[in-house]
């Protein structure tokens, strides 16, 4: 195992591959070895595609040797969340119902990774169908937090974030419907961004809440995260909501400062219920941004409290419709014993879906049923529109909004699912971005007294990823200069 690879960023690994110091084969062998050593403790991976990865490594090496470098991350190993389709490679959504599902095609995001010569190492654990905040609803068992193995890594992209945090891969893809990239990034001490809705194609992402879902990158630092997002974005005709961004110089932006930027701190996000160490770390990061020339001030952002009920109604409504297709006929698991078609549907879905997914399908069907549609679903859509107006108003004053990514640091394994409502409430800071379609990043800004990582969320208006990266990069540089432990 080439130990020089230990602690290398994705971009520096790619540079070492380009100048011949490290072979692509060595980079992959390193990741595979690290997975063998670490993953029995962490359980971040559901599938490791060792053979295919080593084969691809040789092809990519041959291209690089011939002078054909397809991207700044060519040759770098990457893990992909298991709700993103990979051709002929098991894609389970961490559900029994898709336990043996092998897609016939790659997701658009995966096609882009392959075209950029990244090496797909395997698929990562998650909450079943991305429903959850801890990665404990996985049919295949929970993932552990590398910073503290008796704690959860967050969710639903807990496997992707834990894999990066433990150094098993330098990069991963996650998906974010209500915080599933940002919250586990915060809990694990890595950097992850949910891009503007439509910036990354959802083609091949197994849908949870289609109007909220976005694929995004998870990385060990801001610069790597920016470089990966550059590869993922782009118009895709196969997803009608996909858009071509006009401002995509994320890497260059991540090196820029924040001079003259106006940044708002919503008072409602720093009140009661917030872990004091989180408040302190974010205020400190805000001070650093001030020292770098940004105007940072508190302001009033209304309706924050309504984002959770609106989100859970809309997400469950969409999930109940999206998950209708898993009926034992077209995909995956089918119950072994049944009397007729109706009974087959019923048994297949009861046996194939776990309790959290069943709860959400029932809740979603209820809010869409006649008599309740207006009272719940339609009202939630109206609340969503009001929240969007509130953010539009905020972005007329501020370029960016800072908040915690979560009210607390990673909870202990086994402590969250007992009280699902409390778990839902912990998504308070992340869900608004999905309701509004706006981009948001989580960057590590410190640790609590027990050493658990703290993440700061930076939100921008639609298509303002560049500014987000400038602020995130500035924070990272200044914190590093101070020598603070940030996860």
Site string for ligand GLN, 9-48 (x = CB under 6 A): ----------------------------------------
> Which is the catalytic residue, given 23, 34, 81, 384?
81
Contacting ligand GLN within 304-343 (CB under 6 A): 315
Number of residue whose CB is nearest ligand GLN: 180
* Token pair for 344: 């087959």
User: Which of residues 177 and 474 has its CB atom nearest to ligand GLN in the complex?
Assistant: 177
Contacting ligand GLN within 160-179 (CB under 6 A): 176-179
Can you name the residues that pair with 124 across neighbouring β-strands? 45, 81
Contacting ligand GLN within 182-241 (CB under 6 A): 208
User: Which of residues 225 and 315 has its CB atom nearest to ligand GLN in the complex?
Assistant: 315
User: Which of residues 326 and 398 has its CB atom nearest to ligand GLN in the complex?
Assistant: 326
> Which is the catalytic residue, given 31, 95, 156, 175?
156
CB of 383 to ligand GLN, least distance (A): 17
Helix (H) or strand (E) holding 299: strand 295-299
Q: Does 427 bind ligand GLN (CB under 6 A)?
A: yes
Site string for ligand GLN, 54-73 (x = CB under 6 A): --------------------
CB of 179 to ligand GLN, least distance (A): 5
> Which is the catalytic residue, given 31, 49, 95, 180?
180
CB of 203 to ligand GLN, least distance (A): 18
CB of 137 to ligand GLN, least distance (A): 9
CA distance 81 to 99: 14
Contacting ligand GLN within 361-400 (CB under 6 A): none
User: Which of residues 83 and 251 has its CB atom nearest to ligand GLN in the complex?
Assistant: 83
Q: Which of 156, 160, 201, 467 binds ligand GLN (CB under 6 A)?
A: 156
CB of 157 to ligand GLN, least distance (A): 7
User: Which of residues 292 and 319 has its CB atom nearest to ligand GLN in the complex?
Assistant: 319
CB of 326 to ligand GLN, least distance (A): 17
180 tagged catalytic: yes
Spell out the residues 6+ positions from residue 416 whose beta carbon is closer than 8 angstroms to its own: 133, 134, 136, 152, 422, 423
Q: Does 457 bind ligand GLN (CB under 6 A)?
A: no
CA dihedral 74, 80, 84, 88 (to 10 degrees): 80
Burial class (CB within 10 angstroms; exposed 0-12, middle 13-18, buried 19+) of 93: buried
User: Which of residues 345 and 377 has its CB atom nearest to ligand GLN in the complex?
Assistant: 377
CB of 127 to ligand GLN, least distance (A): 7
b/e string for 337-363 if b means 16 or more Cβ within 10 A? eeeeeeebbbbbbeebbbebbeebbeb
* Token pair for 19: 């100048």
* Token pair for 96: 């029994």
Edge-to-edge strands, sheet with 77-81: 45-48, 119-124, 77-81, 171-176, 214-219, 191-194, 440-447, 453-460, 400-404, 262-266, 295-299
Q: Using an 8 Å Cβ cutoff, are 447 and 454 in contact?
A: yes
Angle at 435 between CA 432 and CA 438, to 5 degrees: 75
CB of 106 to ligand GLN, least distance (A): 21
Helix (H) or strand (E) holding 182: helix 182-188
Q: Are strands 214-219 and 171-176 parallel, antiparallel or unpaired?
A: antiparallel
User: Which of residues 71 and 135 has its CB atom nearest to ligand GLN in the complex?
Assistant: 135
User: Which of residues 77 and 209 has its CB atom nearest to ligand GLN in the complex?
Assistant: 209
Mind giving me the DSSP string for 457-471?
EEEESTT-HHHHHHH
User: Which of residues 216 and 473 has its CB atom nearest to ligand GLN in the complex?
Assistant: 216
CB atoms within 10 A of CB 444: 29
User: Which of residues 86 and 180 has its CB atom nearest to ligand GLN in the complex?
Assistant: 180
Give the number of residues in contact with ligand GLN, rule: CB under 6 A. 13
Contacting ligand GLN within 89-148 (CB under 6 A): 130-133
Q: Does 439 bind ligand GLN (CB under 6 A)?
A: no
Helix (H) or strand (E) holding 184: helix 182-188
CA distance 231 to 199: 11
81 tagged catalytic: yes
CB of 177 to ligand GLN, least distance (A): 4
Instruction: Number of helices (H) and strands (E) in the chain: give both, helices first.
Output: 16, 11
Q: Using an 8 Å Cβ cutoff, are 439 and 465 in contact?
A: yes
CB of 124 to ligand GLN, least distance (A): 13
CA distance 307 to 182: 16
Q: Which of 49, 61, 91, 180 binds ligand GLN (CB under 6 A)?
A: 180
Angle at 284 between CA 253 and CA 439, to 5 degrees: 40
CA dihedral 474, 480, 486, 487 (to 10 degrees): 110
- The footprint of ligand GLN (CB under 6 A) covers 130-133, 156, 176-180, 208, 315, 427
| Positions marked active-site | 81, 156, 180
């Amino acid at each position: 195992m080439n130990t020089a690879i230990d602690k290398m960023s994705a971009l520096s690994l790619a540079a070492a591959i380009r100048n011949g110091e490290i072979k692509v084969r060595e980079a992959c062998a390193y990741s595979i070895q690290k997975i063998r050593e670490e993953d029995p403790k962490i359980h971040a991976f559901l599938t490791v595609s060792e053979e295919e990865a080593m084969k691809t490594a040789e092809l990519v090496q041959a291209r690089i040797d011939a002078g054909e470098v397809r991207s700044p991350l060519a040759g770098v190993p990457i893990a992909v969340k298991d709700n993103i389709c990979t051709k002929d490679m098991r894609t389970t959504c961490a559900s029994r119902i898709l336990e043996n599902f092998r897609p016939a095609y790659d997701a658009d995001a995966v096609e882009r990774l392959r075209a950029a010569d990244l090496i797909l190492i395997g698929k990562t654990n998650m909450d079943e169908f991305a429903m959850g905040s801890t990665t404990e609803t996985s049919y295949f068992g929970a993932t552990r937090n590398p910073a503290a193995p008796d704690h959860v890594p967050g969710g639903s992209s807990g496997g992707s974030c834990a894999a990066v945090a433990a150094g098993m891969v330098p990069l991963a893809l996650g998906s974010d419907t209500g915080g599933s990239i940002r919250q586990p990034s915060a809990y694990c001490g890595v950097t992850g961004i949910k891009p503007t809705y439509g910036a990354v194609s959802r083609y091949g992402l197994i849908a949870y809440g289609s109007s909220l879902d976005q694929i995004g990158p998870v990385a060990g630092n801001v610069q790597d995260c920016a470089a990966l997002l550059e590869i993922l974005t782009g118009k895709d005709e196969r997803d009608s909501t996909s858009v071509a961004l006009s401002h995509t110089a994320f890497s260059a932006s991540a090196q820029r400062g924040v001079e003259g930027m106006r940044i708002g701190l919503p008072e409602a996000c720093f009140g009661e219920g917030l872990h004091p160490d989180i408040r302190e770390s974010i205020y400190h990061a805000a001070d650093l941004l001030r020292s770098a020339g940004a105007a940072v001030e508190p302001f009033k952002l209304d309706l924050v409290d309504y984002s959770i009920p609106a989100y859970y109604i809309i997400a469950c409504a969409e999930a109940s419709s999206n998950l209708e297709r898993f009926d034992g006929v077209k995909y995956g698991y089918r119950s072994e014993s049944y009397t007729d078609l109706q009974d087959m549907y019923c048994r297949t879905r009861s046996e194939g879906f776990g309790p959290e997914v069943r709860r959400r399908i029932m809740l979603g069907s209820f809010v869409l049923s006649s008599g309740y549609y207006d009272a719940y679903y339609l009202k939630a859509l109206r609340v969503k529109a009001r929240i969007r107006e509130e953010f539009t108003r905020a972005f007329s004053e501020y370029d960016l909004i800072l908040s915690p990514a979560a009210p607390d640091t990673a909870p202990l394994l086994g402590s969250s699912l007992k009280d699902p409502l409390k778990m839902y409430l912990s998504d308070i800071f992340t869900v608004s971005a999905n309701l509004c379609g706006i981009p948001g990043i989580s960057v590590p800004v410190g640790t609590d007294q027990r050493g658990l990582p703290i993440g700061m969320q930076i939100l921008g208006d639609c298509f303002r990823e560049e500014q987000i990266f400038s602020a995130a990069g500035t924070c990272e540089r200044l914190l590093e200069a101070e020598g603070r432990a940030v996860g």
